[in-house]
Structure 1
Amino acid sequence: MSTITDTRAATAQEAAAHEAAAELEADPTLRERLLEKGILIDTGENGLYGRSAVFEDIVDRLNAAISHLGADQQPELLRFPPAMRRTDFEDSEYLKNFPHLAGTIHSFCGDDGGHRRLLRALDDAMAERDDDRDDTWLGQQKPTRVVLTPAACYPIYPVIAKRGPLPEGGATIDVLSYCFRHEPSLDPARMQMFRQREYVRLGSAEEVMTFRQMWIDRGSALVRLLKLPLDVDLANDPFFGRGGKIVADSQRTLALKFELLIPVANPESKTACLSFNYHMDHFGAIWKIACADGSVAHTGCVGFGMERITLALFRHHGLDVNTWPDEVRALLWGDTRARIAHALEGHV
């Protein structure tokens, strides 16, 4: 039974939530507000942020919700560091399509003379005291055998290939990783280092397409539970150069990629917070991944942008998590499993 005190408290909470949301709507500079509150920490480099305890708590709770959302698929959980073998990266053909986003890892591999040259060049650079320092010292660096991971699913394909043919019915993998893409921006939703949580499906074309549609439904259901506005639309990746437009047009024509879009940093535009991808037999052919019947495996994935979903929650519900809608708080800080199970019964 509700008391007058309970009612007043609920009313005050609603008013605070509406006030916070209205303030954010009036001021699209979400980045500055997050930095001012200490929710994100400025490192001095665009797209590279520290995260506060509040931010990380939300990411952890979103991860728990996503785990419950996919538990019935009985995925194999794999976790990798945010780097992968350079040879696997080269084989993936990522550089063919996205050379502008790739990040390589270099290290000093020289002798004493090279070290002295490096230190002299470094002293000269440090004397400049600004962000446009001379980079001569980098001439003493050489590529290592590892590169930064561009997407969470990339390390799994060579690993799965080494196991031999897929089991009957294919395989589903749960993977999470920090990823890197070289696109510095003041938009906090376009980070250079960010986390992707993915479910990856390997199997026949029919199995992968069924998987993708299921996750379009499930991803949309989760975002609705979070009380966020959404659109799901056909999309394409940011392929490089003139030839990239042809590839992008083909990707759209074949309906290989859909994105779940939410307004985040700018209320006038929408940001892709989830993506639903069908790779056809691209990765299966590169790494010779075979289905149980010997045919080349097709692959697909659903990717959750963990930072982007978290930023969307701050954008639409305010910077104080205590004023967020009761339903959202109950999902993230309450009985997450039960609420996800109820959503699955009603939507999937």
Structure 2
Amino acid sequence: MNTMTDTAALAGASAAASTDQPAATNFRDELLAAGLLIDTGENGLYGRSQIFEDVLDRLNVAITHLGADQQPEVLRFPPAMRRTDFEDSEYLKSFPNLAGTIHSFCGNDMGHQRLLRALDDAMTERDDDRADAWMEQQKPTRVVLTPAACYPIYPVMARRGPLPADGRTIDVLSYCFRHEPSLDPGRMQMFRQREYVRLGSPAQVMAFRQMWIERGSLLVTLLQLPVEVDLANDPFFGRGGKIVADSQRAQALKFELLIPIADPRGKTACLSFNYHMDHFGAIWKIACDDGEVAHTGCVGFGMERITLALFRHHGLDVNAWPDDVRALLWGDTEARVAHGMQTLPATAPGAGESA
């Protein structure tokens, strides 16, 4: 799974809820005042300025060059997925509090009139106090909001039949949704994930993850941002969540690259390196060429979070950023990424056949 967390939230969620992280709010206010983020009136839901999007787009180009030698299959999906695939994924077992469903009006004329009456009543109240009785006329649709960019690809891969001998590598990018409203700009409800996903044998997937820990760290170093990779776990829900999280850490299934962004008391996960073992392979019956259940893994780039980290550490004026950072993003990106890659261990095009 690719559920990025941050260490501050995990270490002191209750305290953060009461104070709402004033340091994070200050950075948010600076971004809003500069026009880099646009306030929509809903915590964690922002518009983005042309400058913010330009930085994010150029960061995307650098990530493309970073993974070009893997010859990934490029797939793009809308920020919604089929509800039955979402149900099969078992996301609700682990993160029911983060999921977002899509509802629509499916009634008749009488139902429409009831909806309008309830809506009229709601609109007499202030925004924060409005009743939601009109939503009783809404029903779940056959689609839900995508929680992680990689989720739509697994049923697609399953329908293709067994994987080739060298497995598959997929490049995917999508807006994702997590229901965790916050004043911390690094914890958006709608955000973009860029992922490289590996499907194959355990050895192939483990080699892939190690390669991307090195490449992800390289990218952040080239951006002149602090690099710290640490063992992590997903924020599993409920009483049993701690047991699952402890197991995930014990098996070293998840690592995160952490960067201070909004709150100096903690660090935010900007990249996530995940080994799912055979979780998704077993659910969707994805097989390797030898008939064994496929293992999967992914590296996830939090596009907004890395962009925010750049503004946090280099300032809100992109013209004043360090020359080497500007040259990487607005110069010969391919050449600079290639030069950095020469410092890393050699990697086969298929991301390695053995760990």
| Length-normalised TM-score, structure 2 | 0.90
Equivalent residues, number: 323
Partner secondary structure for residue 195 of structure 1: strand
The answer on 1:318 being equivalent to 2:315 is yes
Where do 5+ consecutive residues of structure 1 fail to align? 1-25
> Is the 1:29–1:266 contact (alpha carbons within 8 Å) kept by the matching residues of 2?
no
Partners of 2:197 and 2:24 lie apart in 1 by: 38
One-letter identity of the residue aligned with 2:243: I
Give 1:197's aligned residue.
194
CA distance in 2, matches of 1:244, 1:166: 32
Deviation per CA, 1:235-273, whole angstroms, max 9, x where unpaired? 000000110000000000000000000000012210000
What whole-Å deviation, never above 9, does each CA across 1:124-151 have from its counterpart, x for those lacking one? 0001122220100000000000000000
Shift of 1:28: 7.3
| 1:148 aligns to 2:145 (yes or no) | yes
Q: State the shift of 1:347 in Å.
A: 2.1
Q: Which amino acid aligns with 2:286?
A: I
Q: Deviations over 1:17-63 (max 9, x none)?
A: xxxxxxxxx99711000000100000000000000000000110000
1:252 aligns with 2:249: yes
Letter in 2 for 1:173: I
Structure 2 counterparts to residues 1-348 of structure 1, below 5 A: 29-348=26-345
CA RMSD of aligned residues (A): 1.0
Structure 2 runs not aligned, ≥5 long: 1-22, 346-355
Distance of 2:26 and 2:211 partners within structure 1: 35
For 1:34, the aligned partner's letter is: L
Tell me which residue corresponds to 1:5: none
Alpha-carbon contact 2:24-2:263 (below 8 Å) kept: no
Gap change, CA 1:27 and 1:305, over 3 Å in 2: closer
Q: Flag the structure with higher helix content.
A: 1
C-alpha separation in 2, matches of 1:69 and 1:47: 29
Look up the SS of the partner of 1:71 in the other structure: helix
Q: Is the 8 A contact 1:170 1:201 kept in 2?
A: yes
Q: Deviation string for 1:60-83 (max 9, x for gaps)?
A: 000000000000000000000000
Residue range with higher mean Cα deviation, 125-134 or 109-118: 125-134
1:27 to 1:283, Cα distance in 2 relative to 1, 3 A: closer
Cα distance per residue 1:200-239 (max 9 Å; x no partner): 0000000000000000000000000000012100000000
Per the alignment, do residues 27 and 122 of structure 1 end up closer, same or farther by CA in structure 2, a change over 3 Å counting?
Answer: closer
Distance 1:186 1:27 in 2: 7
Residue type of the partner of 1:271?
T
Percent identity at matched positions?
81
**CA distance in structure 2 between the partners assigned to 1:302 and 1:184 by the alignment:** 24
Distance (whole Å) between structure 1 residues aligned to residue 276 and residue 129 of structure 2: 40
Query: Which runs of 4 or more aligned residues in structure 1 lie more than 3 Å from their structure 2 counterparts after TM superposition?
Result: none
- Over alpha carbons, which structure has the higher Rg? 1
Asked if the contact 1:196–1:305 (Cα under 8 Å) also holds between the matched residues in 2, the reply is yes
Secondary structure at the counterpart of residue 249 of structure 2: helix
Query: Secondary structure in 1 aligned to 2:176?
Result: strand
> Do the aligned residues in 1 keep the contact of 2:25 with 2:184 (CA within 8 Å)?
no
